[in-house]
Structure 1
Amino acid sequence: MESSAQAIATNSLILIVTIVVVTGIMLGRVSEIIKVPDVILYLIAGILIGPAFLNVLSIEAFPIENNFILTFGSAFILYEGGKEINLKVLNKVKVSVGMLSTVGVVISAIVVGIVAAKIFNLPIMTGLLLGAVIASTDPATLIPVFKQISIKEKIKQTVVSESAFNDAVGAILSSALLGIVMSGQFSASKSFEELLISAVVGLGAGILVGYLLIVLVSDKRIGVFHSYAPIMSMLTVTLAYELATIFHGSGYMAVFTAGLISGNKKMFNIWLEDNDYNSTVHFTESISTICRMFIFVLLGTQVNIKALSQYWLPAIITVLVLMFIARPIVVLVSTAFDKKAQWTFKDKLFMMWVRETGVIPAAVSGIIVSMKVPGYEIISSVVFMTILVTLIVQASTTKALAKKLGVLEETEEKLLQEVA
C-alpha cells in the first residue's frame, strides 16, 4: 500500500514537471515574438490549465510537491539575484540600497498593510502579511529589462541590488508575520529578536557555505571539484538553505548571501576555469528559467476566479496604493539619507516607477495558499493583480520613461535620438 502511494506521488511530480515545462517552453517562445514579459503568459496559462478552467493541473492534490517546487524555486532565484550584484558599484550607493531594501520594505508593508486591512476588513496582522508579501521587487524581471536598455550604472546597480536584497528581507518579514498570523500571538520585542536572529544566522550560513563551495570548485589547489561546478551551484542553494533552517535562520537570506559571494568571487581572489565558469552560467540560467516557469504557472493554477471577481476592485486599489503612495514614500525616505550618491529628482522619479513585483511574492503567496492561511484568497488575488499590473504597466514603459527623464547612458541616449 505504501509503495503504491509513493508511486502515485512520484508520477504526480513527473506529471507536474512535464506539464509546466512544456507550457513554459512554448509560451517563452511566444513572449519573444510578441514582446510581452513571459511571466504574464505563464500566469494566464496557469489559470487556463488550473481548476478554474481546464483542470489539467490541480495543485491541491499535490501539496508536498507544490511546497517543494515553490521553496526550492524561490531559493534558487534568490541565489541568482545575489550573483547579479557588483559589490564594488554597490559600495558607492550602499546607504540608498540598505535603506530601500530594509526600511523601505517595512514602510511599504505597513502602508499597504493598513490600507488593505481597511479595504478588505482584515485583521491588522493579516493586512501587514499581505503588505509584506508584495513589498519586494523582482530581480528576475528587472534584469532582463535592463539588458535591453542601458540605464546609468549607478541607478541600475541600485535598483537591481535593492530588488535582490529586498526579496530576502521581504521573504523573512513575510515568514515572521505568517508565524504570528498562524499562532495568533504577537510580541514586538520577541518578533524583532526572532527576525534579527533569522537574518544573522542566514547571513552566517550563506557566507560559510558560499565561500567553502566556491573555493572547492576554483582553480586553487583545494578546488578538487572544479569539474562539477554547475552541480555544486545547486548544492550551494540546498546546503545554505538547510543549514540556516536547522539553526533557526532564514534560508532565503542564506542562499542570497551565498549568491553574493559567488558573483563577487574575484574580490576574494577566487577564480574559475573558463570551461567551468561557462558551463555553470548556462546551467544556472536554465535552472533559474525553469524555476520561474514553475512559480508563475503554479501561481496561476491557484488563482481563484470567484475570489478574483469578488475582490478585483479593492485589489487594484491596493496595487495603486503600492505604486503611487507607498513606493514614492519609500524612495524619498531611503534616498534622503544618502548625500554621497547625489541623486537628482529625475533619478528618484525613475526609481519610484521601476518596482515590478514577481517571483518571491508569487512563491510566498503559493505557500500561503497551500497552508490555507486565514485570508489566503484575498492575499492570492492581490498578489496576482500586483504582478499583472506592475509588469504590464511598469515594465512596458521603463524604456520610454528612462528616455524622458534622461537617465539613459549617453551612448544609448544618442542612439535613440538618431533613430527618432
Structure 2
Amino acid sequence: MSHVNLIDLTILTVLTLGFIAFLLSEKVHISSIPILVILGFLFGPVFGLIPNAQGHTIFNYARVLGLVLILYTEGHNLKWSMIKKHVTTIGLMDTVGLLLTAAISGFLFSYVFDLPLGAGLLFGTIVSATDPATLIPLFKQNKVDENIKTVIVTESIFNDPLAIVLSTLAIAMVAPHADQAHLIETIAHYTTIYPAGIIYFLYVMVSSLALGVGLGVIGYWFIRWLKPGFFPQIFGISIAFGGFLIGEAVQTSGYLVATIIGIVFGNHAIMFKRWNEHEGFNQFIREEMHFNEIISDMASVFIFILFGATINISVLNETLLKGALIALGVVFIARPLAALIIVPLKKWTFKEYLFIALEGPRGVVPAALAGVPLSIGFMNHDQSLIYWGEIILSATIMTVLISVLLETLWVKTLSRKLLSPKE
C-alpha cells in the first residue's frame, strides 16, 4: 500500500474510532477523552491497525493545528463580566498556581523516576495546564455554581497557552539546540538563561495580548466593511490561523494570539459598543461558533486517538506503576497545593477551594505537548532527550487518563457535597 493510501486509511480509522468514542461517552456519561486515548492505544500499538509512522506524522500536524482551533473556539466562551469579577483569583491561578503546579509535578516526576531535574522541569510544564475541552462539556452535563465554573474554565482556557510558553522555556533550558529555544538563547547571550526566561515570558504575554486584540479589532472592521455573511466559518478559521502564524513569526505565542482573538470576538458586544456594533455580527458569531465547535471536536479526536496510538508499549509497561503514582501526585498533591494561593483572598470557603483544587483535569495541551521532547530528541539525535521523552510521554498518558477519569466521575458528588445549592 502506498504512503498516501496509508495516511488515508489512518485518517479513516481515527474518524471511525472518534465516532465510536462519542457514542460510548453518551452511553456511559463520562468524558470522551479517556475513551479516545484507550481506543487509540488499542488500535495502535496493541492491534497495529494504526501504523506507528503514519500516526506520528499526522499527530505532529494535528497537535498544532488542533490546538489553534480548540483555543480559538474556547476563547469565545469567556465572558468579560465574569472574568472581571474573578480576575484576582484567575490571575493567581494562572501565574503562581501554574508555576507551583509545574514545579511540584516536576519534582515528583524526578524523584519517582530518579531522573535529573531538567527532565522533571519538562514534565512539570507539560502537565501544568488543565483542560477546557473536558471541563466545558462536563459542567454543561453537571450543574455547578456559575462563579466556580467561571473561575475553573477561565483559568483553564488561559493556562493552556501559558503552559505552552512555560514548556518552551523548559525546552530552552534542557535542549538549547532546539528550534523552539532560538529566541530565548538569543536573549541569553546578553543576560543569563534565567533573566532571559523572565524577559521572554513578559515579551510573550505583552506581544500576544497586543497582537490578539489588534487582529480582533481588524477582523471586526473587516466584517463591517465586506459583510461576509455567507462565509463566517472560513473567516473564523482564517483569522485564527493567521493570528497563530503572525505570532509564531514574531517569536511570540501564536496559541495565545489565537485565544485572545477568540476572546475579543466572544465579547464583541462590549469590545465594539463604542463603534455601534455591526447589526449582523451576532449572527456572524453564532454561525462561526457552531462550525468551530464541530471542528474542535474533530481536532480533539485526532489529538487524543493519535496520542494513544503513538505510545511505546514497552516503555509504558516499564513505567506503568510509577506513571500512575505521578498521575495521583498531580491530582492530589500538586494541584491542591498550588490552589492554596486563593485561600488568603477570603473570597472562597474551604469547601469551594477544595472543589476548585480537585477539578483540574489534564487533557488537550498535555496530550499535544507530550511528544515534543521525544520529537526534539529524534530530530537532534539526542539520546538523553529520547530516553526522557519516552518516559515523559508515558507518564503524561497516565496523568491525562487518571485525572480525566477521576475528575469527570466525581464531579457530581463533589458538587453536591462541597457546593451550596444556588437559587
Q: TM-score, normalised by structure 1?
A: 0.89
The C-alpha deviation readout for 1:181-203, integer Å capped at 9, x for no partner, is 22278711112212222232222
| Structure 2 counterparts to residues 304-383 of structure 1, below 5 A | 304-336=312-344, 338-339=345-346, 342-372=347-377, 373-374=385-386, 375-383=388-396
Unaligned regions of 5+ residues in structure 2, if any?
178-184, 186-191, 378-384
Residue 159 in 1 paired to residue 159 in 2? no
Give the Cα–Cα distance (whole angstroms) in 1 for the partners of residues 46 and 55 of structure 2: 18
In the alignment, is the contact (CA less than 8 A) between 2:50 and 2:309 conserved in 1?
Answer: yes
* Equivalent in the alignment of 1:194: 200
Cα deviation for residue 155 of structure 1 reads 0.8
Q: For 2:376, give the aligned amino acid.
A: M
SS of 1:18 mapped into structure 2: helix
| The one of 24, 41, 56 aligned to 2:35 | 41
Are 2:408 and 1:392 equivalent residues in the alignment? no
Alignment correspondent of 1:285: 293
* 1:335 positional shift: 4.2
| Deviation readout 1:116-171 (Å, 9 max, x if unpaired) | 11221222122111011111100010011111122111111001100001111111
Alignment check: 8 A CA contact 2:56 2:306 kept: no
Aligned partner of 1:18 in structure 2 is 12
Note if contact 1:299-1:363 (Cα within 8 Å) is conserved in structure 2: yes
* Deviation by residue 1:284-333 (Cα, 9 ceiling, x = unmatched): 11100000000000100111221112112221221222122221221111
Identify which of 17, 21, 31 aligns with 1:27.
21
Whole-angstrom distance in 2 between the partners of 1:386 and 1:257: 28
**Structure-2-length-normalised TM-score:** 0.88
Alignment partner, residue 382 of structure 2: none
* Structure 1: tracts of 5 or more residues without a match: 1-6, 411-420
SS in 2 for 1:309: helix
- Bigger shift: residues 33-42 or 140-149: 33-42
Take 2:287 and 2:7, find their aligned partners in 1: how far apart are those partners?
27
CA–CA distance in structure 1, aligned partners of residues 137 and 55 of structure 2: 32
Residue number among 267, 279, 303 corresponding to 2:270 in the alignment:
267
Output the CA distance in 2 between the equivalents of 1:169 and 1:277. 26
Aligned position for 1:209? 215
Mapping for residues 60-209 of structure 1, pairs under 5 Å: 60-61=53-54, 63-183=56-176, 187-209=193-215
Cα distance in 2 for partners of 1:61, 1:406 equals 46
* Conserved 8 A contact 2:74-2:262: yes
Specify the alignment match of 1:231 in structure 2: 234
2 CA distance for matches of 1:23 and 1:120?
A: 33
Contact conserved, 2:78 with 2:154, CA < 8 A, in 1? yes
For 2:323 and 2:41, the matched residues in 1 are separated by: 18
State the shift of 1:262 in Å: 1.4
Shift of 1:100: 0.3
The change in CA–CA distance for 1:389 and 1:202 in structure 2 (over 3 A counts) is same
1:301 aligned onto 2:314: no
Distance 1:15 1:146 in 2: 35
How far does residue 252 in structure 1 lie from its aligned partner after superposition? 1.3
Instruction: Show CA shifts across 1:272-292 (max 9, x none).
Output: 456533321221111000000
Deviation at 1:85, TM superposition (A): 1.0
Structure 1 residue aligned with 2:254 = 251
Q: Conserved in 2, the CA contact under 8 Å of 1:151 and 1:409? A: no
Would you say the 8 A contact 1:63–1:370 is kept in 2? no
Distance 2:207 2:417 in 1: 44
* Greater alpha carbon shift after TM alignment, 130-139 vs 311-320: 311-320
Cα offset, 1:209, TM superposition: 1.9
**Does the 8 Å contact 1:201/1:248 carry over to 2?**
no
1:414 — aligned with what? none
SS of 1:227's equivalent? coil
1:59 Cα deviation (Å)?
A: 4.3
Amino acid corresponding to residue 296 of structure 1 in structure 2: F
Report percent identity of matched pairs: 28
**The 10-residue stretch of structure 1 (177-186 or 327-336) with the greater mean CA deviation from structure 2:** 177-186
Contact 1:107 1:326 in 2 (8 A): yes
* Distance of 1:331 and 1:107 partners within structure 2: 9
**Are 1:58 and 2:63 counterparts?**
no
Amino acid at match of 2:350: F
- Determine the structure 2 residue equivalent to 1:413: none
CA RMSD of aligned residues (A): 2.0
| Paired AA for residue 402 in structure 2 | V
